[in-house]
A and B are shown apart, each in its own frame.
Chain A
Amino acid sequence: MNTNDSRFDWMREYAEGTASAETTTMLEQALREDAEFRAFFVEYLNVDLALSDSALLGLPVQTFAAEIQTERKNVYSLQWRPLMAAAAALVIAGVSVWWMHGPTVAPSTAEDPAGAPRPPLAVVMQTINAEWKTMPFQPDDRVPAGVIALTKGIVRLQFMCGATVVIQGPAELDLKTEREAEVRSGLVTATVPPVAEGFTLLAAGWRAVDRGTVFGVDARSPEHAVVQVLEGRVDLHRTASSHIARSLTTGEGVRLSSAGGIEPAGDTTMKFPREMDIIDRAASAERKQFESWQQQRTSLTQDPSLVLYFDFEATDLARGVVRNLAPGATPGSDGSLIGGEWTQGRWPGKHAVAFQRAGDLVRVRLGATLEAATFVASVRLEPVAKATQTILLSPQVGPGQIYWMLAGRNPASPNGKLVFIKTPEHGADIRLASRRGLAAEERGRWMQIAVVHDPSAHRVRHYLNGSLIEELPLDDATPLKLRQLVIGNWGFSSEPRNLVGRMDELAIFRRALDETEIRAFQTPP
């Protein structure tokens, strides 16, 4: 065949997804008319598919027969490979730095306009009553270059070089590199370990360069900045100069004007926030949260409509048993953890299950048939490139089966939507998907998701962090037959759909909870 004729371009555009309606119509006509071209077209798409498979496996194309053999031996063994392939693709794309520093970027600021991730310069360690003028960060978020601004509260950041800063709002900090930031306003204390010597804070046209130290910068006034050494030594330069204008040691403080003036400021040590205070305060706030959550849960587990409640605390860690604490629990409905690992939940001391690989799952023999039902889970997704992640499903066949997942179009737009699928008595599965998906920054953070199956109101509702994000009509009253449940995994495809993340709470009620109740289930303040 002459592959130069324009039909082959239409075919290409069609397979790329760039064909216009007009092109598609012309291609359609050509395919109808010419059987030979049709055969070629099918081959073309076949090759396109096979190439994507080989890339997906991160291998030179393996024979498909051999692949099936491998898959038969262990259906899960293929499923971690796409992560490697995704990592390889990133290295090829020249953004390996981002990957190596850990994937927890808060991406709405962490992507440049072309969509490429920017490397993180710092990690958020603690926040206390922080209110943000710029996009909010939470502990564990990665912060890329750029300005962060607090209207109030305190935030502790650790730069990638090892230096930490405590920022007391209102304040504005411009992160420039992993060892340099400009204090545009507010109070900042820097603690610099020997490995990060040379860490620099800029303010009022000056550079304060650390020489093994704890020091503070007070930039609350627009005209001048105060630099105070709490411990060690700091060299001061004008911004554009390498000449050391002054060296300060423990207890010394100076007022620097943007015009270049230096005056003694006396000892202002007391006004700067101290790192240990912040760490202690944050830890005690977490303890309080954990305690109030525990109290709330004690009353919650009295609810007779609860059929399953896993707090992942009442567990036999060694044997992988997850106790079902629901008052209405059927005997033998404790969960079994298969694969997976115990890890930390929302607070220090709280347990969670970490699902890492395909095949990590919790299996439950629930033995419940539910008319109305509410499912609530507290999860933290690792921000990996995965189109679909399973929260839970009932692995039986037939009417009344369910599948609850987070699904995106493809790995490039992961975990787009909350999806609840139900098999009715007759006809095709009913797919009830939220239109809105998770924002990119929601990955890597603890969140609460819930779905309410409410056949008497003819509705299915999806919730994210206590807020209703989607309400969908439901014209099927088939009861949910939850003889068994599988949590965190779905193994029947070379396309991995396992959950990659943590779960530290799961509740199933045999009634439709309303929005107030869902909200009350949220993490206590």
Chain B
Amino acid sequence: MTPSDDQHHDNFLRLFTAHEPAVRAFVRALVPTLGDANDVMQEVSIVLWRRFGDYDGAKDFRGWAFGVAKLKMLSWQRDRGRDRHVFGDDLTDLLACHAEENAARLAAQREALRLCLEKLPAEQRRLVDSAYAPDTRIHELAQSFGQSIAALYKRLHRIRLALIECTRGELMKEDWS
């Protein structure tokens, strides 16, 4: 690599690693499932790297990355919309706006989640850890917890709701409205 390549590479890496969680969260707000978010994010990170030459260093990287992510997301939705129902562009815009405006709050929420996870009863914590581990097969998990898949999904849902409640409390303490 020439020095300028190195520098280019380092700049990208620095910005990307700093903003990747926010971009991922932004993408997650706009697609149905975690798997979809990973798919789109995969594409987004390639485009960001490929197009990094177009990025104006004076501007906000995150804003630029959100813009790229949104375009990628819309094209993903169009592809996906051929075989199943996806949200309309107007709603996607509303969600994108909200996620962008609240990016800092969402980041704080993700941090607060650490404390909240520690407060979870052990059994619930175990369920969350195993349900979100890569490669988990939901039917096997349901079996090992002695529940039906539907019941397991509902339990996870209730845990997520409780975690949101808890993170909201934590955010209040830190003066997030």
**Interface residues in chain A, defined as those with a beta carbon under 8 Å from any beta carbon in chain B:** 3, 8-9, 12, 14-19, 21, 24-25, 28, 31-32, 38-56, 60-65, 67-68, 71-72, 75, 82, 85-86, 88-90, 92-95, 114-116, 385, 387-388, 395-398, 401, 403, 407, 409-412, 421, 423, 428-429, 431, 484, 492-495
Contact = CB atoms under 8 A, between A and B. Distances in A.
7 contacts: A17-B36, A24-B87, A38-B95, A42-B98, A51-B160, A72-B14, A494-B17
Contacts of A48: 28, 34, 160
A39 B33 CA distance: 17
B38 A410 contact: yes
A31 to B, nearest CB: 6
Interface string B115-128: 00110000000001
B78 interface: no
Contact of A492 (B8, B13, B34, B160): B13
A492 B45 CA distance: 8
B91 A32 contact: yes
A55 B132 contact: yes
B11 to A, nearest CB: 11
B38 A47 contact: no
A89 B133 contact: yes
Contacts of B9: 395
A44 B164 contact: yes
A421 B32 contact: no
Interface in B70-128: 71, 75, 84-88, 90-91, 94-95, 98-99, 102, 106-107, 109-111, 113-114, 117-118, 128
Given A47-B164, A72-B17, A89 B98 contact: no
A305 B137 CA distance: 48
Contacts of A85: 133-134
Contacts of A95: 140
Nearest to B90: A32
A397 B140 contact: no
Contacts of A18: 153
A64 B35 contact: no
- On chain B, which size bracket covers the interface? 35 or more
A385 B144 contact: no
Interface of B is mostly: helix
Contacts of B128: 51, 55
Interface in B19-50: 20-21, 24-25, 28-29, 32-39, 41-43, 45-47, 49-50
A39 B98 contact: yes
Given A71-B17, A72-B14, A409-B39, 11 more contacts: A31-B95, A42-B99, A43-B167, A48-B28, A61-B117, A72-B17, A90-B135, A93-B140, A397-B51, A429-B46, A493-B20
B50 to A, nearest CB: 5
A208 B7 CA distance: 71
A418 to B, nearest CB: 15
B106 A494 contact: no
Contacts of A64: 21, 107, 110-111
Contacts of A412: 134-135, 137
B134 A385 contact: yes
Given A38-B95, A47-B164, A50-B110, A115 B137 contact: yes
B109 A47 contact: yes
Contact of A16 (B28, B52, B153): B153
Contact of B17 (A21, A75, A385, A484): A75
Contacts of A82: 134
